[in-house]
Amino acid sequence: MKFLKYILIICTFLFVFSCKKTNLTVTEPGPDYILSKLMNGIWDGVNISGDILNFNGQDYKFEDSLLGIAGIFANENEYVIAAPLGNLVTITTDGGSTDGVKEIIDIVGQQNAVGVINGIASSEDPSNIKAEDLIGSAQVTEEEKNRIEEILGGLSFGKVETVPSK
């Protein structure tokens, strides 16, 4: 009987302490994460050294990370979003469009960020992307969908390329 009493006390303590509220914060991976992912990949015509991406004969310096799934690189006013999704997906754009992509990811949710990048990459005309292509299976309201359409109207994507892995 005493044994059961001790087990009950231990279980009660475990329950109380396991349900205690913590100050745990979820953070994004730092820039080192995406840079190391990019450096470990081997793609034709692409060279990554430190925080410099050499692509199509031009050097781009690392600016920011998109949730650890893609890197944003800049060369003056030209930006490249590079996402190592098996093959290397590169999207040429301007600075305002990179902010727009971040805002769209915030709307559809971080768990759907790869879908946003794939939606841009697989669009037939990068200057005319539909919100449905980026939303995928994300649960968004009609208001959020309209906001995404509004954001897409102000974005300017250039060349989208997929560089196969060696």
pLDDT at 21: 66
Nearest to residue 65, comparing CAs of 25, 117, 115, 107? 117
**Domain-embedded: residue 9:** no
Task: List own/partner pairs for 25-31 with CB under 8 A and 24 or more apart.
Answer: 28/65, 28/67, 28/68, 29/65, 29/67, 29/68, 30/65, 31/62, 31/64, 31/65, 31/71
Q: Is a pLDDT exceeding 70 seen at residue 24?
A: no
77, with CB counted inside 10 A (0-12, 13-18, 19+), is exposed
What is the distance of C-alpha 7 from the center of its chain?
47
Instruction: Among 26-35, 94-103, 141-150, name the one with the lowest average pLDDT.
Output: 26-35
**Domain-embedded: residue 24:** no
pLDDT at 154: 82
The arithmetic mean of pLDDT across residues 51-61, rounded, is 87
**Domain-embedded: residue 129:** yes
Question: Domain of 79?
Answer: 30-163
Rounded to whole angstroms, how far apart are CA atoms 19 and 1? 27
Residue type, 115: G
CA dihedral 41, 37, 121, 132 (to 10 degrees): 150
pLDDT at 22: 65
The arithmetic mean of pLDDT across residues 105-110, rounded, is 85
**Domain-embedded: residue 74:** yes
**Domain-embedded: residue 155:** yes
Instruction: Among 12-21, 42-51, 56-65, name the one with the lowest average pLDDT.
Output: 12-21
**Domain-embedded: residue 23:** no
Nearest to residue 90, comparing CAs of 46, 155, 156, 135? 46
Mean pLDDT of the chain: 82
**Domain-embedded: residue 22:** no
User: How many domains does the structure of the chain reveal?
Assistant: 1
